[in-house]
Structure 1
Amino acid sequence: MTNRLSAQIEFLKRVDRLKSVNRANFLLDQSRAENAAEHSWQLALWALVMQPLADEGVSIDRVIRMLLLHDLVEIIVGDHPIHLQTDWQAVERAEQAAASELFDLLPEDQAEACLNLWQEFEADQTQDARFAKSLDRCQPMFQVLCAAAPRADHKAIVQDNLNGGRAAYLKTEFPDAYTAAQSLLIGDTPAQTSFSARLGFLAESDQLKSVYRASRLLSGERFENSAEHSWHIMLYAWILSEYAARDVSIDRVLQMLLLHDVVEIDAGDNPIHGHVDHAAQEAEEQAAAERLFGMLPDNQKATFLSLWHEFEAADSPDARFAKAVDRFQAPVGNLATGGGSWVDYDVSYAQIETRVGTPVKRGAPDLWAWLQPQLDAYFAATATM
């Protein structure tokens, strides 16, 4: 088990680099370029939110997994904006090689499964892949169009994309999205449809990309934000799913982790090792959940609130595993960066045993068994310095 788990962790550490791959899109507030990891998180959120609009037979759980993986190759080949002159055949060859290189870090069975899913998305032939692709074409356009003051050059790219570009097929494939985009381009309010009823929430979710956590990227270049963190722990839960209890539904876990930090848009991040008024934090997060999920149609609001409450309570098998993964990721990063937030917050081994060890042992004891010897070694070494 140890060698297999170590290989899985090395893969999960390597993909941290996606957080440093910038895209041509900007955040809605125009403050900076979006990166490929937070884009992947928001696309997964689009999939969950737009599930009622998918054709019968589409598996949203498979779509979410495709979207978590779809841009990993950009760690090696970078992002290629659609509006630039590009040798797309050369890009395709480079991405195929990059996919093989990255997924080969995993145990053979997982490498094959992930590569097959990534290739299915790229081929764009199955129902699941077509829906995933349509969302990947929609989200960047609406990230431009829902901004308070969209850049003129970005609007021009959207217009070209709709009028004969890659998104033109949405006119028949996803007509409500196409019509809403055309309305926003000319400054009109989109007609009320099942699509537009969900667009406000998805635009609001962009703010999670500007909520920064106490943990740093493995490169050390900056602090991690909550959107890319959510993407990363979803990958953690998926890749490490064999260490969950038998009755755990990994797809429900992924949905919990997709949603779990959305409340931080209003309530902010509260570091686990910081000094927090837990009663006040709980009240702020509850109010945030009501406001944010309340932007959705009533049935989705109820579903998302229920998932969020289940994660917070951590009493079900699914929630216990989700909480274990959420606690496990930061120590892996801190060990790889010389202590990270443990140094910033002067954290003791006893604090980690209580705040991390207890939920990880409760939801995924094998992960704690792998982590504990490394914690012992780290704190033993720092004690002699």
Structure 2
Amino acid sequence: MQHAENSTIMILDFFHTSANLKKIPRQGWIDKLSIDKPESVADHTFSMAIMGMIFSDLENYNTGKILKMILLHDLAESTTGDITPEQITKEEKIILENSTMKKILNDLPLSLQKQYCFLWDEYQTNNSKEAKLVHQLDKLEMTLQAKIYSNEGYSKERLDSFFNSAKNEIKDPKLLELFSKILEK
């Protein structure tokens, strides 16, 4: 009985940690646009999940794997905050996020820890078609949000770095078509 109760408490701790994403603002919007109340990391993840679900179902990807990878891709930020490239080096960020993910996932049963660590590593190394898609969806969602901010009157010049970053990263022809359509609206 004690083990089951501890397991339940640990899973609840994981849920609380994950819920922190609702309070973590996307730092790039603050730094580049001086937005007072930008979207949260959870907002971004939800929008990506919708994109991932639709695109992976249409293109016959493993939708479950895509959605899990999307839900995990920024989970470390529930503890670290949204760290931008201007704050620390890419290598430092990888080390920090990897150690943070280990701690976060440690609250889950071992079978889930292994599964989610594997998906996290796959995403980080970008060595599968699903990981490549999730990285591109991350940029596509950023483009959509940048366009929303542009339509709300934020500086198009300040948003160009977001659009250019996405344009350089998105390789899938159908995602590139969506990227172009987002810019047209």
TM-score category (smaller protein): 0.7 to 0.9
- Whole-Å separation in 1 of the counterparts to 2:106 and 2:54: 32
Counterparts of residues 90-101 of structure 1 (less than 5 Å): 90-101=92-103
Residues 17 and 75, structure 1, Cα contact 8 Å, conserved in 2: yes
Residues 65 and 130, structure 2, Cα contact 8 Å, conserved in 1: yes
The structure 2 residue matched to 1:160, chosen from 148, 157, 164, is: 164
3-state SS, counterpart of residue 39 of structure 2: strand
Residues 22 and 42, structure 2, Cα contact 8 Å, conserved in 1: yes
Partner residue in 2 for 1:132: 134
- Whole-Å separation in 2 of the counterparts to 1:125 and 1:110: 21
- Whole-Å separation in 1 of the counterparts to 2:48 and 2:181: 22
Output the amino acid matched with 1:44.
A
3-state SS, counterpart of residue 168 of structure 2: coil
The structure 2 residue matched to 1:177, chosen from 137, 162, 175, is: 175
Please state how far the C-alpha of 1:100 moved relative to its aligned partner.
Answer: 0.7
The structure 2 residue matched to 1:16, chosen from 9, 14, 19, is: 19
Describe the shift of the 1:11–1:160 C-alpha distance in structure 2 as closer, same or farther (beyond 3 A).
Answer: same
Counterparts of residues 206-355 of structure 1 (less than 5 Å): none
Describe the shift of the 1:136–1:150 C-alpha distance in structure 2 as closer, same or farther (beyond 3 A).
Answer: farther
The structure 2 residue matched to 1:65, chosen from 43, 49, 68, is: 68
Output the amino acid matched with 1:161.
S
Q: Flag structure 2 segments of 5+ consecutive residues without an equivalent.
A: none
Residues 17 and 79, structure 2, Cα contact 8 Å, conserved in 1: no
The structure 2 residue matched to 1:112, chosen from 111, 114, 123, is: 114
**Greater strand fraction, Structure 1 or Structure 2:** 1
Describe the shift of the 1:179–1:91 C-alpha distance in structure 2 as closer, same or farther (beyond 3 A).
Answer: same
Residues 48 and 64, structure 1, Cα contact 8 Å, conserved in 2: yes
Partner residue in 2 for 1:300: none
Percent sequence identity is 18
| Shift >6 Å, 4+ stretches | none
- Whole-Å separation in 2 of the counterparts to 1:119 and 1:138: 22
TM-score, normalization by structure 1: 0.41
Describe the shift of the 1:52–1:9 C-alpha distance in structure 2 as closer, same or farther (beyond 3 A).
Answer: closer
TM-score, normalization by structure 2: 0.81
The structure 1 residue matched to 2:50, chosen from 32, 37, 45, is: 45
Partner residue in 2 for 1:78: 81
Query: Relative contact order: is structure 1 or structure 2 higher (C-alpha 8 Å, sep ≥ 6)?
Result: 2
Number of equivalences: 175
